[in-house]
């Protein structure tokens, strides 16, 4: 019976294990989950946002205040950063440094279920973190639309659209010689700066705008702005945002499962 349950619910057991591991750094999760939105939204609303509004008026950017413009982007960026934390070093840990994935695979839990469990646990953390962030956005009056709550779903999808491809790459690493650190430094940080997060993508030179077009963060940010304050864009572009991010999630999820099967079933 135990074997049957493990084979049927293996992904949920892995997710439970991962959530229990998160308890070891729960204090960090709580502090960052509460501190980041408070500090960033305060800085953008009272600090930089007030300067922008005083110089450019109440509809400073995209017809809304700077805080309203940047808040959905900060939400998506925070969700993406959370996913990158869970899909990098913990994945490397399970495959290499403390190979718990091999122990799980020795039980009746398949490599695919291990990947599924990691995604379930990370999704749970991202949803909670995003909901807290959204609560602070409401507190600061940065969400004028009644559909603003949908930004939580958008932020979660954005996080997975970046995090799962990252997990796919990390799962291929046999020896960490700084690849993950370089990924954070040369991919995550530039993507945040070149994805229309703090200013419209059209404000950048044309020859740099392609970075935003291929970035899941830009697609997520634009979609979040549609729900947060009714940002105007063609319906076909909204569809492109959703399809692009879902494609990244679907393809890389399947790819991750294949890589895990290859590594764990040697």
Domain boundaries, the chain: 2-264
Q: Check if the beta carbon of residue 161 is closer than 8 Å to that of residue 215.
A: no
Three-state secondary structure along 66-118? HHHHHHHHHHHHHHHHHHHHHCCHHHHHHHHHCCHHHHHHHCCCCHHHHHHHH
- pLDDT at position 47 is 78
For residues 140-162, b (16+ Cβ closer than 10 Å) or e, as one string?
A: bebbebeebebbbebbbbbbbbb
pLDDT over 70 percentage in the chain: 94
Is pLDDT at 221 greater than 70 in this prediction? yes
Backbone phi and psi for residue 61, each to the nearest 5 degrees, phi listed first: -130, 125
Question: Which pLDDT band, with edges at 50, 70 and 90, does 50 fall under?
Answer: confident
- pLDDT at position 5 is 67
What average pLDDT score do residues 121-148 get? Answer: 96
Tens digit of each residue's pLDDT (9 = 90 or more) over 57-72: 666 678 888 899 999 9
Q: Check if the beta carbon of residue 126 is closer than 8 Å to that of residue 83.
A: yes
Is pLDDT at 152 greater than 60 in this prediction? yes
Question: Which pLDDT band, with edges at 50, 70 and 90, does 9 fall under?
Answer: confident
Is pLDDT at 117 greater than 50 in this prediction? yes
Could you tell me the pTM of the whole model?
0.93
Is pLDDT at 8 greater than 80 in this prediction? no
Is pLDDT at 136 greater than 60 in this prediction? yes
CA gap 248, 89 in Å, rounded: 21
What average pLDDT score do residues 86-115 get? Answer: 93
- Mean pLDDT score across all residues of the chain: 91
Partner residues linked to 227 by β-bridges: none
């Amino acid at each position: 019976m135990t074997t049957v349950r493990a084979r049927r619910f293996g992904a949920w057991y892995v997710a439970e294990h991962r959530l229990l591991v998160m308890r070891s750094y729960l204090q960090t999760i709580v502090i960052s989950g509460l501190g980041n939105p408070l500090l960033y939204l305060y800085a953008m609303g009272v600090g930089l946002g007030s300067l922008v509004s005083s110089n450019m008026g109440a509809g400073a950017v995209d017809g809304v205040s700077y805080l309203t413009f940047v808040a959905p982007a900060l939400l998506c960026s925070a969700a993406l950063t959370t996913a990158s934390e869970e899909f990098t070093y913990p994945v490397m840990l399970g495959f290499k440094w403390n190979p718990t994935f091999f122990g799980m695979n020795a039980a009746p839990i398949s490599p695919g279920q291990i990947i599924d469990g990691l995604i379930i646990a990370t999704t749970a953390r991202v949803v909670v973190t995003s909901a807290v962030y959204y609560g602070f956005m409401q507190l600061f009056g940065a969400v004028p639309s009644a559909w603003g709550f949908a930004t939580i779903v958008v932020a979660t999808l954005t996080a997975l659209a970046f995090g799962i491809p990252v997990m796919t790459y990390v799962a291929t690493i046999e020896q960490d010689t700084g690849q993950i650190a370089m990924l954070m430094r040369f991919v995550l940080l530039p993507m945040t700066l070149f994805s229309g997060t703090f200013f419209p993508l059209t404000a950048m030179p044309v020859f740099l705008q392609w970075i935003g077009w291929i970035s899941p963060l830009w697609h997520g940010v634009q979609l979040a702005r549609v729900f947060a304050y009714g940002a105007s864009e063609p319906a076909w572009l909204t569809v492109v945002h959703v399809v692009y991010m879902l494609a990244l999630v679907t393809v890389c999820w399947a790819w991750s499962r294949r890589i895990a099967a290859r590594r764990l079933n040697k």
